[in-house]
Structure formats: structure tokens, C-alpha cells
Structure 1
Amino acid sequence: MKYLIFFVVPTLLLAGFTLRPEPKADTPERPNIILILTDDQGHGDLGYHGNPLIHTPVLDSLARHSVRLTEFYVSPVCAPTRASLMTGRYGLRTGVYDTYAGGATMAAEEQTIAELLKTAGYRTGVFGKWHLGDNYPYRPNDQGFDEALVHAAGGLEQPGDRYENFSRKGQSYFNPLLEHNGKVVQAEGYCSDVFTDAAIDFVQTGGDQPFFLYLAFNAPHTPLEVPEEAYERYRDMPYPFDTFAIQGSNEFERMKPKDIEAARKVYAMVSNIDENVGRLRQALKSAGVADNTLLIFLTDNGPQHIRYKSGFYGRKGSVYEGGIRVPSFWHFPKKFGNPRDVPGIAAHIDVLPTLAELTGTTPEATLDGRSFLPALTAKVAAVAGGRTLFFQWQRGYPRGFHNMAVRTDSFKLVGKYRFEKAPDDFELFDLRTDPFETKDLSEQYPEVVQQLSERFLDWQAEMKVAPALLRDHPVALHTPEGYPVRLNRNDWKGPATKLWDSPMGHGYWTVEVPESGSYDFELFFHEGLPGHGSLNLKVGTEQREVIVRDSITQRFSFDDLLLRAGQYRLDAWFHCFWPEGAKGTYGPYDVMVKQKD
């Protein structure tokens, strides 16, 4: 693994030296566990699922030799999926309701898979995309991971990412700036290769101690940046969209040239992931731990772009099958026996309870998910039925029946994402006979619509009063290691946060001042200032303002703010007076905060 330390603070990271209890004599055998999660890779982005254009030999082989959960669900977008995956609880219950604008910070008190497995003596590592909080106490190292090499915010080159990545449009996936156990480091290589190198190092350096490895690729999420050698395979790939086997979708999406080019790049990114999974599997064999390692492969939601979707309707962000139904392969022949398809509905919330039962650990919280280990071990032929799964996502907090779904053993109720329609504009599908959601049965079974819509309202009402959703999750203006705190655009709140990639975007952060004292603030405006005006910083009732006539300088400091311990709203903005065409409010790209000794 190649990366250079960008800055170093000589303080040992406490998470790396956590005391681990010795396993009890009656503890079940503890397998190593690898959870691989890809970003925006849809159900159809695998050769195994009938895509004749994509080259995924390693993942196809993994699928053929695994227990395959054929009806596995996640959330429509990434951060809610990751919160549910890590905790066994609906994302809303953990405080995660969106991907940005302050909605992607998971409550610090949530117990993650990493924290759970550490109680059984596991060492833990995460490599890739975290997207559940960039600052203390929400970072992966604060949430149970001994080793963490991750990018910031929701993705490389997004406005919440380090500016050094954001500013390198088209190249941020190569040699990115990352965070290694809280320290900023300069990586060398393509991001998926870098994260896999780190994962292999983690596997090879742990001795006999069991490990939990969370390899969360940020690919094939946009921007679609891929190594030339991977793209070469698909450069001239035709996409026969008129004759392509779209099995049963009730809306054929004609691909334009830009969609075909996007598919080429996505397939190249997935092929690169495929090769990296192959490298990781070879490392397991070389280390002699392959037979005692459970390898799980999932994706976080459906595809963002138009392309082959195994016939399912909808894409990322949608609660139709194409948005929330994903591959789920569980490879552990030593424990699970012969490869096979396992029917029955299962979801991201079930992963933690399943791993808990496998390892003999006991979660602290009340879970929304349930273990499907009996189905994996062939004690039963299918995932246990008789349950109801719920899905909803819009920008911001859940509202009414918009973009929601309720899934039972047979039926699926969908509330359309159409704000101009009546809130009871439902569709009902029998997925046992119509997996591609082509026949709306809502008029035929009004009693089922009524029953499932009432269940949904009960669930939504429960989620809306979840303690973690009702309160803010403040960023602490310090870290245990003494590093400066970076407030980024992914976490700010307010109506102008939708302009997060614009200089005129602005918002506020909820912050926690840990102790009374003096604090220094640096505001970074990546495009400089548009003219003359006032520069402002406000933390609670403490406010500073200066008149600025310099439009070239990018960094501005407010030093020695005397703050009392407590929770506050932090605002930072520039109000432009002149010239006329530039009048308005502008937000900084980020704010750096350092607590003085």
C-alpha cells in the first residue's frame, strides 16, 4: 500500500490499542469476515446476472460458489444503506436520512458491526467509503475500527471531499488525498487499487487474530474515472439497446450516446473491482485463511445511469426493484455447504444480526433486522417469512407516502415519487408472479393497499420520533489526537445547501465546544471572493465581522474566539456588496478549527 503522510501529529490513536477480551471457552469458532460493498453497482452489473457485455469473471465465480440470497434489499441511496448495514437498524433510527445537508451522520452511540465483533476479540478494518460522519465522534476509528483508510464525505471529488481532490476534475480517483486513522495522507494509484492494497496489508499483518474487513469501494460511483487499461476493453463496446435482453421492465429506457459511454466506463470500473476482488482472494489463500473466511459481496443501491438492470424497473433513488434489489453472495463453504439460491426477503438490516449469531456475540441495541443464518447453513430452505420491510427516501426528512415501499412475502406497495399527485397514488405488485413490477394490482386488492399503507404510517411515525433523528449530531471542535477539525460542505445544513457545489452555496454546522477556551478559525474560499463585502463568523452568540476588499485571497483567519463549553450553531459567510452583479451570500468551501492549548 503506497501513501505519503500529508501531516503527522505524534499522538497514538487510541483505537489501535484497544484491549480485547479473551474469548470464552464456549465461544463458537470465530471465522474471519470480509464484507465487500460497491457503490452504485446495480443488480445487472454482473455477468452472472445475464449481462453479456460486462467482464466480471471473479465475481461470477464467487456467485456460482456462494449461497445467493435472491431477494435481498437495501435503501435507495448510499448513506442510509451503510447505516443499516453497520447497525442492523433502519437508517432513520440511527439519525441518517440523506446523503448530504447534515443527513449522513450516524449517531455516535450506535453499535456497529466492528464494535460488536471487537467484543469477541476481532481486529477490525475499513477501507474505502465510510459516509457516516467525517468528524469526531462519528469517524470509523470512533465507531470500532482499528484501521481505517477512507475518503471524506460521500465521494471523491464531491464538494464535501478534500479540496485537493475536488479541484482535480477528471483525475481525483488517481492519487487521491485520503484519511488514514485520522491523518491526511497522499495515496499513490487508482482509488480501488489503493483500498484493495490496504485491505491485503490488513489481512497479511494480523497473525492468528480473527478479523473483520469492510472493503467499501467508492466505485463505480460518479465521477466515472477509470484506468486506461480497464477502459480499453470497453472502448468500442456496442450497446445493442434495441435488442438487449431487458426481460420484463415496464418502461424501456432508450440509451443515448452519452448513456452508452457511461455504461462503458461503469463496466470498466466494475471490471477493475473484479480484478481487485481476485487479488484479495489470492491474498487470503496465500495467508492460509481462505477456508476460515466468510466473504460477503453486496452493493449499496441500484445503478445511477441507464443500462442493463436484469429487467428490474427503476434506478438509484427509486424504491422500485431496480433501485433497492441488489446482489447478495455469501461464500463460506466450510460452514454453509453447497452453493445454492435461497429465496425469501432479506435486507441490509439483517447482516449484523446474522453475523452476531454466527460469532456468538450479543448486540446492545434492539434491532430491526433478524438473522438469516439458518438459511445460510441449509437448516431451512428459505429465509423465514412473515415479515414486513419498509423503504422511503427523499431529500430531507420522510414526508407522507412519497417514494416509499412496503414489502411482504408476496406483495409490494409503492408510493410514487410525484409531488403533484395525490399522496395515496399507490401501486401494488405481486412479486411472486411479477418480479419486474409490470402489473398494478391496487384496484384489484384495495384491502391490501389499505393494510400495507397503514403499516407504513405506523412505521414512519415510529421512525420520526427516533431519538437519533430528533436531535442534531454536533461536530466536536476537537479530536482526541489534537488534529485540527475540518467542517465540510457535506455536513452543513440550511436551505442553500442544495448549492453545495456552487460558490453561492452556504449553510451552518451544529458544533460542540468541548471546553471553554480559545479557538482559531480559518475560512477557505476556493474561488476567492467575488468583490467587496463583509466576512462573517458566528458561533452561538460570538460573532466576528470584517470588511474585505481583497478578492484574490482564499484563506481568512479569525483567531482567539473565546467560547464557552456547549452546543452551538456555527455560521460562516461572505456577503458581497459590490460589484452589482456579484451581490449575494457566499459560503466557504470548508472551515478549519483548532483548539488552542
Structure 2
Amino acid sequence: MIYKNLLPLICISATQISGYSQNNQARNSGDFKPNVILFLIDDFGYGDISYEGNNRIKTPNIDRIAQGGARFTRFYQCAGASAPTRASLLTGRYHLRTGVWDVHNGRDFLHRDETTIADILKSAGYSTGAFGKWHSGKTWSYFSWNRGFDIGIHPVLYRYMQSRLIFNNKLVNTMGPVEDVLGNEVVEFIKQNRSNPFFAYVPIQSVHEPFNCPEELFRKYKEIGHSDHVARLYGMIELLDNNIGKILDEVEQSGLSEKTIIMFLSDDGPSPGFDISYSGRRMNENEIKERSGAWRRVLRGGKASIYEGGSITPFYIMWKNRIKPGGEYHQLTGIIDIFPTILEACGIPLPEKNLKLDGMSFLSILNGKEPSDWAERKYFDNTNFYRIPLEKIDRERPRVREISVHYRNYKLIRTDRFYYGKDTVEYELYDLEADPFEKENIADRNTDIFSGLKLSIDQWFNEILKEGRAYRQAVYEVGNWEERGTPVNPDGYSKLSGNVRKSNNSDFIFEGWTANGSSMTFDIDVVEAGEYEIGITFRSKPDSRDAEFFVFTEYDTVKLLAGKDDQAVSEKLHLPSGEQHLIIQLENPGLNGGEIESLKEIIINRIPGIKDTGVIKNPVIALKTGNQILGKFTLGNDVADFMFRGGMSDELLRVRKGDEVLIVPECDNPESIGTVEIFKDFKSVAKISNPPYAFRFTSETTERFTLNAEFTSKTGIKNSVRAYLSVE
């Protein structure tokens, strides 16, 4: 497998944690760079871990990390949601500074000038890989392979069995549990980097709803007597724990235990999610009690809550013979602290021009030396604007539903009731040492603490707003030749006009195209001037015709005619480079009015011109056996397919077992080809540098796999053509 870098590793220099073990002087040298593996579990919460006292579900491999290392008891997220948590983890900054302030709606794109921990580790010689749920941007320029990771493999959201994954801008169809596929790739990454420091970031998307797992695991927990919801949840947990185990086993078998730091945490509080077979019905009261009845403690709140049950996470860190097993630390810590801790542990300085960090390294705490200012630390949290329409948000001075601050044993919560129908602000103060379940509001009795923390919240939020980086909509970067069709998710609009509105049935589909002048505006950044076409996918009335749009920026205007085929492409639009506004405006609703029922997808396509000689034009692969052509496959929009049609598998091409198949790459300008690399699923099997770039293979086993031919131009531009094969 030709993986150069796959996983995010966390490093801690031996001299920093030398109190537990003084052996192996070589590791105390400045040349030693430890590996880092970071597990982040989706919607997992704090109670479904046997190490934490759960008496019904066993998590032996998560327990291995906890028992073999240290446990932090007051470790917090700073948003309690997928995208904001990831933004803070990757940057060491409060998520509002990074451009991420929600989980969808164009509010989940990490600003392009943010530096990720992978950027810094990669520049220091680490192999870096991300395996799992990305959720830090939805177009090519925002994906992991452009954010410091050598390798990025990410699943379509919340499809846990048969699915598709995107792998460094190539789509791969998969069968079986997705967590098994990803776990195997992490293991392979470790094998390929045994002699090179690596960072493996493993954001496992389980146990986000819908709960789903292999049938045998579901049956195992049903036979014990659990409800369907809890049985599938427990099956998911066992599956993810098994995959953590295979990764830990590979570290041990490769002799890397003393060279590898391993971290584990959750991105959010526990969710009463829905089971795959119940059409969206979440856990009822009895099922919630069935689950939480096994927890050692039941904190107030859950997923997305500002209370402890939604914001605290288990955090374990293990490094054999460097971190003493069984240690517990009660200092106020959180997800923004992981970034600076990794850098200090690896002996890597923060780049001079890096944006300001909010996190603090807890490395000295692990060595028994708490920094003198740590006790006075304040740690902030806030909830997001999930499902609140953009037009109802004052982005200059947003009415945030909840903001909290932790200080010593106190926690103050500021709740703005504006979006709950009241124009009031309320406060709750809790002493978490005396009242960990947040039952008694003591704001009236502790006026000094209350007043000081109230001021701290105001100052912190005012500072965030003054920077001008928070509460922006996504900027879609278009014109990259490696993403010839940039997907623009309709919910990422920056402005709506006319009758256009979100569908009642989906946050990602827009209805109300009934009046002339109705429009959607998007913020785009064109990397290179050129010719573009705007494609849309829509739903129209039966026998509809003659609906017409204008598509325009500040610089050019073209027509887009929407017929009855539910897909349409505009005339060519000339776009100069730079940031601008793209507007899709209804000019004529059609013969009967309102012919367009809904708009579902938008893709901005870059069109190669005569002067674009460094681009491979119309790449194709032909698959042949003897004189028979089995099929021809053309360049697709991999990221757009991943974002908009991720749940679909490619059509299978059937090949007979034992037949020799010839792969023939073709294009309009073959003189521009530098190399063609052939991938079987995630594995590179050939890299061809000379014409005719053909490759032969024979499969002697019954199997299914995705074949990607990655064309690289002589100017370094990569584009892939794929086929999905079934050998029978």
C-alpha cells in the first residue's frame, strides 16, 4: 500500500514526562519524535464505557487506554457538536474564531487561513492521516488532504454498512461495516510508517444516529433482552471498540507502544438517537432509562446541551512507560488544549505567524507540576444556531442561546431566550463540586462570583465579535482543476430573496420558486479567471417547461433554462479571480408559474480552454478483455458525488474470474500526462510514467472493488476516473 502519511499522532517529549521512566536514553534526545493516535467518537457522551462504571456494555479496548494511562475528570468540549468540536481540536482555538459556528448551513467550513495541528506536524516531518468523519468543510479545498493530512479517508455521513468513502479526492465503494474498513486502513497506515513519526487522527462517526450495526451484533444484545434502539447502539459500540482494539494491537505488535501517545475523547454528549428501522423515531423515555440505567452517573443534559451532560467528555491519554497508569487529574481542561499539548510534547514550536491559540498545554500537569496560573483559568462554551435560518440571525450581534464559563469549581450559564420566544436573558450559577448535577442555582447567593463571571462572558464574547472572524458564511473556493465541479450546498447561502425558503422536509432543499426575482446568493472565491458553467438539480412539475434563471456575479450574467429533465446547465459564465457573489435568480417561473418545485443541488463547473495546456482534457479509461471493450469511464465530480449522492453506489461492471483485463487510459491531450497511478480501493498497485500508460490485471478470486486511475499532469494536477468492478 502506497500510503505516505495516514494518521494523526500525538507526541510528548521524553524530557517532559520523565518522572515515571528514565530508561532508554535515546528517547530523551531531541531527535526522538513520538507518534500520536487520536480517537474522537461521535455523540458518545460519557456513560457507555465499562471503565466509567457501565455494567451492561463492555468496552475492553477503550478501557485499555484508560487503564494504561491517565484520566482527566474535568475535560470539556467548547461547543458540544460535531463541526465546532473538530474546529477547536484541529486548531487549538475556540471554534467561533475559526469560522465554524454550526453543523450545516454553510457554517461548518474551517477558515482557509487557519493552521491545523496536521499542518505543523507535517512540516516537522510527520506522516499525517485522517480516517473518519471530517466535517470541517464540504469542498475540495477544505478537505483533509488540503489541511495538512497526507491521507484523508472519510465516509459518507451516517451510512454504516454498504457505503462510499472519499480517499484523497477519489471515491471508493465499500461493502460491510464502514468502521471495519477505516480500522483496517489505520492499521495499514501504522504498518507503512513504523520507522517514521506519524499522526493518526481517527474521528469515528459512530455512534451518531441512525443506530445501525451488523445483524449478529444486534441479535447478541436483543437476546440479552434489550430494546431495538439500545441493542443497535450497543452493537455499534462493540464494533467501534473492536476497531480501536485492532489499532492498539498493531501498535503493540509493531513495537511502537513506548513511542506512541494515544488519546481518546468524545465530540458531544450522548444522543437519544433513532434506530435504523424506526423511521426517525428517537429513543422514548423507557429506552432512555434502559440506556442510562447502566451509567455510573446521569448528568444534566445530553447532546448539544450547555449543561454538564452535553459538554463534559471522558479524556484518556496513554503512553507506555511515560505516563503512569491509573493517574487521575481534576484540573479544568478541554479540547482546545490538545493542540498545544501535542506541540510541546513533540518539541515543535508554534509557527511565528500562527493565529492566537486559546488552549494551554497540560503536559506539565501530567508531570505533576501544575502551572501557577492554571487555577485561575476560565474556560468558555456555547451552543450553536442549529436550524435557525440565517435571515433571523443578527450576525453583527448574534443572540446566542447559551454561553457558559467554568472557573474553579463554578460554572455560570447565560441563556438568551430570544429564540425560545422571550426577549430576556437569564443566568444560572452552579458550584459543581457541591452540586455536580446542576440542580441548585446559587446566583442570588454568590453575587461576587456571579458578577465577575458575568463580566467574563461579556468580555470574551465581545472580543470574539471584535475580531470579525465569527458568524461568517462559507466561502466556496472554485476553479481548482483538481475539483472541476465544485459542489455548493444550497443551505450555505448568504442571502435569500423573494419566496424562496427551506423545504419543510429537508434542510438542504429549497422551495418557493414562484415569483420573478426570487434568488439565492452564495459567497465564492475564484482561484483563477476562466470560463464556468453552473449546473443545478431540481424538482419540477410534471410536463413543466420554460422556467428560466439568470446566473450572475458582479462581472457577468448568463441564462439557465430549466426544462423537464430535472437537471440544467447555464451558458458559459466568465469569472475573474477573487471573492465575489454568485446569484441564481428566477427570471421566469415557467408557462404555468411555479414550474420549479424545489432546488436540490448546485455545482460550479470549470471549463478547460485552449490556453489551459497544463490540464488533462477529457480523461477516460477503457477496460478491455481481448478485443472486447467491457466499458468506458469518464471523469466525474468526486467531491460533488460524495456530498450530493454519497449514499449511492456506482454501477457494477462484471468481470469473469481469471480473465485478463487491460486498463487503457486516454485523453484529448496525452502529451500533458505525467503519470497514471492505478488504485484498487485504497491501495496503489501501479504507477506508470511512460505511454501508453496501460495496465493489465487478473483476479483469481471473487471480489468487488473500486478501480481508480489517477491522472497526474506534467504540471502536477491530479484527476481520477473510477470504475466499480465485480469479479464473478
Which category of TM-score, normalised to the shorter sequence, fits these structures?
A: 0.7 to 0.9
TM-score by length of 2: 0.69
CA distance in 1: counterparts of 2:403 and 2:216, whole angstroms: 41
> Among 63, 66, 91, which residue is 2:66 paired with?
63
Equivalence for 1:199: 186
Q: Which moved more, 1:180-189 or 1:566-575?
A: 566-575
Which amino acid is 2:145 matched to?
Answer: N
Equivalence for 1:19: none
> Among 368, 378, 381, which residue is 1:388 paired with?
378
Which amino acid is 2:464 matched to?
Answer: M
Paired residue secondary structure (2:464): helix
Q: Does 1:275 find its partner at 2:260? A: no
Equivalence for 1:447: 448
Taking a change above 3 Å as real, the CA distance of residues 448 and 175 of structure 1, as seen in their structure-2 partners, is same
Which amino acid is 2:217 matched to?
Answer: A
Q: 1:55: Cα distance to partner?
A: 2.6
Taking a change above 3 Å as real, the CA distance of residues 99 and 528 of structure 1, as seen in their structure-2 partners, is same
> Among 577, 593, 596, which residue is 1:565 paired with?
577
Q: 1:482: Cα distance to partner?
A: 5.2
Which amino acid is 1:504 matched to?
Answer: E
CA distance in 1: counterparts of 2:460 and 2:299, whole angstroms: 26
Paired residue secondary structure (1:235): helix
Q: 1:136: Cα distance to partner?
A: 4.0
Q: 1:487: Cα distance to partner?
A: 2.1
Q: 1:415: Cα distance to partner?
A: 2.4
Q: 1:320: Cα distance to partner?
A: 0.3
> Among 504, 522, 535, which residue is 1:522 paired with?
535
Q: 1:462: Cα distance to partner?
A: 1.1
Equivalence for 1:222: 209
> Among 227, 231, 253, which residue is 2:218 paired with?
231
Higher strand share: 2
Which amino acid is 1:568 matched to?
Answer: Q
CA distance in 1: counterparts of 2:479 and 2:5, whole angstroms: 16
Q: Does 1:370 find its partner at 2:371? A: no
Taking a change above 3 Å as real, the CA distance of residues 269 and 388 of structure 1, as seen in their structure-2 partners, is same
Paired residue secondary structure (2:479): coil
Paired residue secondary structure (2:74): strand
Query: In 1, are the aligned partners of 2:534 and 2:602 still within 8 Å (CA)?
Result: no
Which amino acid is 1:589 matched to?
Answer: E
Paired residue secondary structure (1:587): strand
Which amino acid is 2:50 matched to?
Answer: G
Q: 1:409: Cα distance to partner?
A: 1.1
TM-score by length of 1: 0.83
CA distance in 1: counterparts of 2:155 and 2:487, whole angstroms: 13
Which amino acid is 2:221 matched to?
Answer: Y
Equivalence for 2:680: none
Equivalence for 2:325: 338
Larger Rg: 2
Equivalence for 2:52: 49
Which amino acid is 2:569 matched to?
Answer: S
Query: In 2, are the aligned partners of 1:572 and 1:587 still within 8 Å (CA)?
Result: no
Equivalence for 1:243: none
Query: In 1, are the aligned partners of 2:478 and 2:486 still within 8 Å (CA)?
Result: yes
Query: In 2, are the aligned partners of 1:96 and 1:104 still within 8 Å (CA)?
Result: yes
Equivalence for 1:109: 113
Equivalence for 1:317: 304
Q: 1:559: Cα distance to partner?
A: 4.1
Q: 1:345: Cα distance to partner?
A: 0.9
Which amino acid is 1:34 matched to?
Answer: I
CA distance in 2: counterparts of 1:231 and 1:383, whole angstroms: 49
Query: In 1, are the aligned partners of 2:561 and 2:570 still within 8 Å (CA)?
Result: no
Q: Does 1:477 find its partner at 2:444? A: no
Which amino acid is 2:69 matched to?
Answer: S
Q: Does 1:133 find its partner at 2:120? A: no
Equivalence for 1:164: none
Which amino acid is 1:109 matched to?
Answer: D
Query: In 2, are the aligned partners of 1:539 and 1:568 still within 8 Å (CA)?
Result: no
Q: Does 1:73 find its partner at 2:63? A: no
Q: Deviations over 1:117-176 (max 9, x none)?
A: 123211100011111112243221111000001136xx34xxxxxxxxxxxxxxx32232
Taking a change above 3 Å as real, the CA distance of residues 354 and 540 of structure 1, as seen in their structure-2 partners, is same
Query: In 2, are the aligned partners of 1:342 and 1:383 still within 8 Å (CA)?
Result: no
Taking a change above 3 Å as real, the CA distance of residues 401 and 412 of structure 1, as seen in their structure-2 partners, is farther
Q: Which moved more, 1:260-269 or 1:203-212?
A: 260-269
Q: Deviations over 1:542-564 (max 9, x none)?
A: 344455452xx232122422222
> Residues 412-431 of structure 1 correspond to what in structure 2 (within 5 A)?
412-416=411-415, 418=417, 419-421=420-422, 423-431=424-432
Equivalence for 2:166: 179
Q: 1:375: Cα distance to partner?
A: 1.8
Q: 1:342: Cα distance to partner?
A: 0.8
Q: Deviations over 1:365-395 (max 9, x none)?
A: 3210100011223345999321001111231
CA distance in 1: counterparts of 2:520 and 2:231, whole angstroms: 37
Which runs of 5 or more structure 1 residues have no equivalent in the other structure?
2-11, 17-22, 157-171, 240-259
Equivalence for 2:43: 40
Equivalence for 2:339: 352
Equivalence for 2:601: 589
Q: 1:53: Cα distance to partner?
A: 2.3
Q: Deviations over 1:22-80 (max 9, x none)?
A: x9x96362111000001100111212222222231221232222200111000221111
Paired residue secondary structure (2:572): strand
Which amino acid is 2:41 matched to?
Answer: T
CA distance in 1: counterparts of 2:563 and 2:534, whole angstroms: 20
Equivalence for 2:148: 144
Q: 1:102: Cα distance to partner?
A: 1.0
Equivalence for 2:256: 289
Equivalence for 2:175: 188
Which amino acid is 1:87 matched to?
Answer: T
Equivalence for 1:302: 269
CA distance in 1: counterparts of 2:435 and 2:453, whole angstroms: 18
Q: Which moved more, 1:359-368 or 1:124-133?
A: 359-368
CA distance in 1: counterparts of 2:409 and 2:607, whole angstroms: 56
Query: In 2, are the aligned partners of 1:297 and 1:330 still within 8 Å (CA)?
Result: yes
Query: In 2, are the aligned partners of 1:573 and 1:585 still within 8 Å (CA)?
Result: no
> Residues 404-419 of structure 1 correspond to what in structure 2 (within 5 A)?
404-416=403-415, 418=417, 419=420
Q: Which moved more, 1:310-319 or 1:487-496?
A: 487-496
Taking a change above 3 Å as real, the CA distance of residues 224 and 333 of structure 1, as seen in their structure-2 partners, is same
Paired residue secondary structure (2:39): strand
Q: Which moved more, 1:471-480 or 1:74-83?
A: 471-480
Q: Does 1:31 find its partner at 2:28? A: no
Equivalence for 1:266: 233
Which amino acid is 2:36 matched to?
Answer: I
**How many aligned positions are there?**
540
Taking a change above 3 Å as real, the CA distance of residues 528 and 361 of structure 1, as seen in their structure-2 partners, is farther
Q: Which moved more, 1:328-337 or 1:505-514?
A: 505-514
Query: In 1, are the aligned partners of 2:491 and 2:509 still within 8 Å (CA)?
Result: no
CA distance in 1: counterparts of 2:477 and 2:162, whole angstroms: 29
Equivalence for 1:462: 463
CA distance in 2: counterparts of 1:206 and 1:483, whole angstroms: 32
Query: In 1, are the aligned partners of 2:547 and 2:596 still within 8 Å (CA)?
Result: no
Which runs of 5 or more structure 2 residues have no equivalent in the other structure?
7-12, 14-27, 273-287, 386-392, 513-518, 610-728
Query: In 2, are the aligned partners of 1:573 and 1:586 still within 8 Å (CA)?
Result: no
CA RMSD of aligned residues (A): 3.0
Q: Which moved more, 1:427-436 or 1:286-295?
A: 286-295
CA distance in 2: counterparts of 1:215 and 1:112, whole angstroms: 15
Equivalence for 2:567: 555
CA distance in 1: counterparts of 2:522 and 2:4, whole angstroms: 27
Which amino acid is 1:267 matched to?
Answer: Y
Paired residue secondary structure (1:413): strand
Q: Which moved more, 1:401-410 or 1:497-506?
A: 497-506
CA distance in 1: counterparts of 2:38 and 2:363, whole angstroms: 16
Counting aligned pairs with the same residue, the percent is: 28
CA distance in 1: counterparts of 2:404 and 2:83, whole angstroms: 18
CA distance in 1: counterparts of 2:164 and 2:448, whole angstroms: 55
